[in-house]
Amino acid sequence: MSGVGNCYDNAPMESFWGRMKTELKSEMIFEDLRDAHRFVYHWVHLFYNRKRLHSGIGHLTPVEFEE
């Protein structure tokens, strides 16, 4: 986190949630909170971090970038 009044620390998370809502808009209807938690967990850990290409890191997945 950065200092008070610095908006740059919020931008990455706003971008992340916006991307998730855009890519999954029709699939985000859940039975209950547990279902929502499971769905978001799987999307983040199995797709976003392992399969989705990110332009900010040379069109690699985060896992590939870390390796």
Residue 13 falls inside a structural domain? yes
Is residue 51 a part of any domain in this protein?
yes
DSSP conformation letters of 23-66 = HHGGG---SSHHHHHHHHHHIIIIIITTT--BGGGTSB-HHHHH
Q: Could you tell me the residue range of the domain that residue 38 belongs to?
A: 7-66
In a domain, 1, yes or no: no
The answer to whether residue 2 sits within a structural domain is no
Residue 49 pLDDT more than 90?
A: no
63, 49 contact by CB (below 8 A): yes
- Which of the four pLDDT bands, split at 50, 70 and 90, describes residue 33? very high
Q: Mean pLDDT throughout 25-51?
A: 86
Mean pLDDT along residues 29-41:
90
Mean pLDDT of 14-28: 81
Q: How many domains does the chain have?
A: 1
CB 64 within 8 A of CB 54: no
* Cα atoms in the 13 Å half-sphere on the side-chain side of 42: 9
